[in-house]
Amino acid sequence: MTDRQTQIKLTNTKTRHKTNTKTRHKDVFVPIDPDNVRMYVCGPTVYDRAHIGNARPVIVFDVLYRLLRHVYGADHVTYVRNFTDVDDKINAKAAETGRSIREITDETMQWYLDDMRAVGALDPDKMPRATEYIGAMISMIEGLVESGHAYAAEGHVLFAVESYKDYGKLSGRSIDDMIAGARVEVAPYKRNPMDFVLWKPSSEDQPGWDSPWGYGRPGWHIECSAMSYELLGETFDIHGGGNDLMFPHHENEIAQSCCAHEGAGFANYWLHNEMLQVEGKKMSKSLGNFFTVRDLLDGHDGQAPVPGEVIRFVFLSTHYRKPMDWTAEKAEQARKKLAKWRRLLSEVGEVTVNENHVDPFFLEALSNDLNTASALKVLDGLGQELSNALLSKRQRAVGDLNYPESSRSSEVVAAELKSSAQILGLLLDDLGGWETKSSDQYAPLLDELSKKISVERIVAMQTKDFAPVDALKTALLDAGVEVRMSKTGVELEAGPNFDASKLEGLL
């Protein structure tokens, strides 16, 4: 346990609508049990690679997870994120590819974990897959039928929305508004068009399980109610997801859970992240601005790879409740900033990382409804301070004792920078290494090489032997360096495929 004094404030969707949709109502977070803070986040449907929009809730709730672990202690937080491995999109993929559902879902789950780890996300404590909780879903549905909140009709079981008076409260809608605004599926077996499916029949070639209502499979919403109950209990602290899930998915989860466990509150705090766009436009395959996390990590369509840490930084520079725009320009800025911080830290050498070194202003910013953008500004200030402290140290080491000594040592500032950044999942040792391929720290070396090639060129003009110049130029191009020769001199600049390891031995 670290510092339980820290007060975390969160915009709670649940109470925001109770007061006023327009006010930014924040609640002080008070866990039910500080020894076991419990959070559930809706996970992916696993049939394809995650696109970069899918990474937003993962990164947002990973930061909240890290903050909760910092405040309550790593062993006092339980984070559950499910895998939806039963869904018609998965069935369609199996039919299209001729592969088994299990093969597709296993492969996609592994991709998802690899990609999310690459952007610095910790694995949640529990990652249940829906198909392992079918029994729990059937029991919950049976209870809902018994208590009159659900009814069976034509092989289906439907939840009767009129049986739950608070239906629509989270998203601030009435049942009539919902019918008018939503594309509800009208079906003859529904008593009310808003009633939603808890169980539906499967044909022989569809995945299915035996149930009191015949061979079938669950509707989407029931899985989160069943899994959160099994793993976190009937009332837990935080429930998260993208705001596209607020209606109908989260409304339905609340209705099912609160009716199945009369008197329980389900989740006390609801957090919703806003959506991500690309270069100002909604991401879509037809606009050609759709890409997966893996596309970015590996490089796609002639673009250079974007390191996972850089992707993460870009996400954190926008508050989670604001729409976020992914742009190549932001990625470039983020890359430069992180490379600089990493370079400064490596100049310090061994840096102490522990929770006592977290900057209080950083923690205050992050505890204020996860204001990651402000928290990054505090890190930026520490980066500046570190740069100044190192400069002062360097100057004084070469005998310039008139140079003012920094008020805090580079070791102290570096410890604060790194310890704080790690709560955002940045400057972690395992996410590093990419910056040694980055151009910034090689600027002096490229300078030397440009001098060398200039001298060789002057010599070549006299000897008429251009082979050494050509060989050096070829080696530079091979290392991803752009070479511009003019009458006034030679300019070298690291290009997008710059690889510093190939410069070894050229000087």
User: Which spans of this chain sit near ligand AMP (rule: CB under 6 A)?
Assistant: 42, 44-45, 53-54, 56-57, 241-242, 244-245, 275-276, 283
Is the CB of residue 409 less than 8 Å from the CB of residue 433? no
Q: Give the list of residues 6+ apart from residue 73 with CB closer than 8 angstroms, or none.
A: 1, 2
Residue type, 64: L
- The one of ligand AMP, Zn ion, none whose footprint includes residue 224, by CB under 5 to 8 A per kind, is Zn ion
Nearer to ligand AMP, 57 or 248 (CB): 57
**Count of residues engaged in binding Zn ion, rule: CB under 5 A:** 2
Between residue 30 and residue 59, which ones bind Zn ion under the rule CB under 5 A? 42
Rounded-to-10 torsion of CA 286, 288, 293, 294: 110
Among 178, 224, 226, 390, binds Zn ion (CB under 5 A): 224
- Mapped onto helix, strand or coil, the DSSP state of residue 262 is coil
Least distance CB 115 / ligand AMP (angstroms): 13
- The one of Zn ion, ligand AMP, none whose footprint includes residue 45, by CB under 5 to 8 A per kind, is ligand AMP
**Furthest-apart CA atoms within the chain: distance in Å:** 98
- The one of Zn ion, ligand AMP, none whose footprint includes residue 44, by CB under 5 to 8 A per kind, is ligand AMP
Q: Give the list of residues 6+ apart from residue 483 with CB closer than 8 angstroms, or none.
A: 453, 473, 476, 477, 490, 491, 492
489 dihedral zone (left: phi>0; alpha: psi -120 to 50; beta):
left
Least distance CB 245 / ligand AMP (angstroms): 5
The angle subtended at Cα 401 by Cα 396 and Cα 406, nearest 5°, is: 60
Nearer to ligand AMP, 153 or 275 (CB): 275
Nearer to ligand AMP, 249 or 343 (CB): 249
Is the CB of residue 87 less than 8 Å from the CB of residue 43? no
Least distance CB 47 / ligand AMP (angstroms): 9
Nearer to ligand AMP, 167 or 291 (CB): 291
- The one of Zn ion, ligand AMP, none whose footprint includes residue 244, by CB under 5 to 8 A per kind, is ligand AMP
Which residues in 386-455 belong to E strands, given as ranges? none
- The one of ligand AMP, Zn ion, none whose footprint includes residue 438, by CB under 5 to 8 A per kind, is none
The angle subtended at Cα 454 by Cα 448 and Cα 457, nearest 5°, is: 140
- The one of ligand AMP, Zn ion, none whose footprint includes residue 54, by CB under 5 to 8 A per kind, is ligand AMP
HEC string for 22-65: CCCCEEECCCCCCCCEEEEECCCECCCCCEHHHHHHHHHHHHHH
Nearer to ligand AMP, 27 or 48 (CB): 48
Least distance CB 234 / Zn ion (angstroms): 16
Nearer to ligand AMP, 276 or 414 (CB): 276
- The one of Zn ion, ligand AMP, none whose footprint includes residue 453, by CB under 5 to 8 A per kind, is none
Measured CA to CA, the distance from residue 284 to residue 407 in angstroms comes to: 51
Least distance CB 268 / ligand AMP (angstroms): 20
Residues near Zn ion (CB under 5 A): 42, 224
